[in-house]
């Protein structure tokens, strides 16, 4: 198994920082460097698969059975109160989230 084990350069660290941001996971500098190394090693597995000849195209499904579709009937769930009670921040029947528009960060998708 060919694992990349070199040290990580600035480009890889920048990539790791972007990845962490896309995954919305805060990482400090140390963690980001660690992630860069991890991604390198991880991509070794992906590279290994490149060496395995595969037949062209096709959908990545296992030929699983057709989705068994459910009858269109309403059933009430009883989790509502428990879920709202467990909400980190709640206002009446709503979940509260902080300011969505962030001057520095990305806007939410509308």
Partner 1 sequence: MQLSMTAAETARRVSEGELRPLETVDVFMKTAREREPNLHALLAVLEERAGHAAERLDASLSRGEGPGPLSGVPVVLDDGICVRGTPTTCASRMLEGWIAPYDSAASEMLDSSGAIICAKGNMDEFSIGCSTETSAFGATANPCDPGRVPGGSAGGCAAAVAAGYAPLALACDTGGSLLQPASYCGVYGLRPTYGLVSRWGVAALAPSMDQLGILSRTVEDAALALSVISGHDPRDAMSSPGDRPDYMAAVAVPDGKDARRPLAGRRIATVAEMRGGSDLAGACREALDRTLAMLAEAGAELVEVHLPLSFNHGLACYQVLLAAEASSSLARFDGVRHGLSAEADSLNSLYLGTRGKGFGREVKRVAAAGTYILGSDRYEDCYLRASNVRRRIVGELLDALAGCDLIALPTTPTTAFRRGELDGDYFGMSLSLSFTVQASLAGLPALSFNAAGAGELPAGVQLIAPRRGEAGLLAAAAAIERVRASRDEAGERRSER
Partner 2 sequence: MRHVYTPVIGLEIHVQLATESKLFCPCSTDYIGAEPNTNVCPVCLGLPGALPTLNARAVELAVRAAMGLSCEIHDGTIFHRKHYFYADLPKAYQVSQYDRPLADRGELYISGDGGSPKRIGITRLHLEEDAGKLVHSAADGRLEGARESYADFNRGGVPLAEIVSDPDIGSPREAREYVSALRRLVRYLGVSDGDMDRGSMRVDANVSVVKSNADTGEILYRGDRAEIKNMNSLRSVERALEYEIRRQRATLESGGTLERETRHWNDGEGVTTSMRSKEAALDYRCLPDPDLGPIEVSREMLDAIRSSLPEMPWEREARFIGDYSLSEVDAAVLVETPALADYYERCVRSGASPLRASNWVRTEVLRVLNERGVGIEECPVRPEELGLLVSMLDEGRASTTVAKEIFGLMVDRGLSLQEATDRCGAHGELSQEDLELAARSVLDANPDVLTEIMGGRDLKGKKRKFICGLVMKETRGRATPGAVEDVIARFLEGME
Site residues, partner 2 (CB under 8 A): 22, 24, 59-61, 64-77, 79-80, 83-84, 91-101, 106-110
d(CA 90, CA 6): 48
Paired tokens of 96: 């509260």
d(CA 53, CA 90): 53
- CB of 69 vs partner 1, minimal distance in Å: 9
d(CA 33, CA 7): 10
CB nearer partner 2, residue 10 or residue 79 = 79
d(CA 5, CA 67): 43
23 forms part of the interface with partner 1 (CB under 8 A): yes
Chain-centroid distance of CA 10 in Å reads 23
55 forms part of the interface with partner 1 (CB under 8 A): yes
The binding site for partner 1 (CB under 8 A) comprises: 1, 3, 16, 19-27, 31, 34-35, 38-39, 41-42, 45-46, 48-50, 52, 54-55, 58, 60, 62, 64-65, 67-68, 70, 77, 79, 82-83, 86-89, 95, 97-102, 105-106, 108
């Amino acid at each position: 198994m060919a694992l990349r084990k070199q040290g990580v350069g600035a480009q890889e660290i920048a990539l790791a920082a972007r990845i962490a941001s896309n995954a919305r996971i805060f990482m400090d500098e140390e963690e980001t460097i660690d992630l860069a190394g991890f991604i390198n090693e991880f991509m070794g597995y992906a590279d290994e698969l490149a060496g395995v000849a595969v037949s062209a195209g096709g959908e990545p499904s296992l030929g699983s059975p057709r989705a068994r579709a459910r009858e269109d009937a309403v059933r009430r769930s009883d989790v509502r109160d428990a879920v709202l009670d467990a909400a980190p921040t709640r206002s009446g029947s709503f979940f509260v989230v902080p300011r969505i528009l962030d001057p520095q960060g990305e806007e939410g998708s509308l």
